[in-house]
Amino acid sequence: MASAKPSSLSLTGRALRLLSAREHSRAELERKLARFEEVPGALAEVLDKLEAKDFINAQRVVDSVVYRRSAKLGVGRIRQELLAKGLDPEPIAQAVAHLKTTEVARAQEVWRKKFGTAATQPQERAKQARFLAGRGFGGEAIARVVAGAFDPDDA
């Protein structure tokens, strides 16, 4: 009996339920709700109405991802997440440009939480560099942090 309730939701109800949890791009909502569309074109109509009422807003999606992920991830990973959401390139480029200004400091903080001390062996440095690269930080930031050349006044 519990499964009967969710199947009776309209497309608008389903979209609002998703949007109440976090910001979603139009492309994400299309992908998640397409299987529930019974009448062709109904989903596009619902999404148009939600966009007109500003329930769907691409800039808020970008801001939300940057806010939630920038403390742990580098520019590369954040850019990839934004592209996967089907957003326009312009807001992504603006967010990436802003994130690049703080990348070394953010990489330093992630490194400090994980490792805390400078590597003394090449294998340790390589491990630390791989960790930061996996988090999406750029080569220059990784080199500065792992080499211990980080100066808080530079960031």
In this structure, how many other beta carbons lie within 10 angstroms of the beta carbon of residue 137?
26
What sign has the CA pseudo-torsion 19, 99, 147, 122? positive
pLDDT at 72: 95
Write the pLDDT tens digit of every residue in 82-125: 999 999 999 999 999 999 999 999 999 999 999 988 888 899 99
**Domain 103-146 top-level CATH class:** mainly alpha
Question: Which amino acid is located at 67 in the chain?
Answer: Y
pLDDT confidence band for 8 (50 / 70 / 90) = low
Distance from C-alpha of 55 to C-alpha of 84, rounded to nearest angstrom: 20
Model pLDDT for residues 63-87, shown as the tens digit of each residue: 999 999 999 999 999 999 999 999 9
Contact by Cβ (8 Å): 103, 41:
no
Instruction: For residues 59 and 117, give the distance between their C-alpha atoms in angstroms, rounded to a whole number.
Output: 38
* Domain boundary assignment for the chain: 8-52, 58-100, 103-146
Say what the pTM is: 0.82
Name the DSSP class of 9.
-
Give the phi and the psi of residue 149 in degrees, each rounded to 5: -90, 10
43 three-state secondary structure: helix
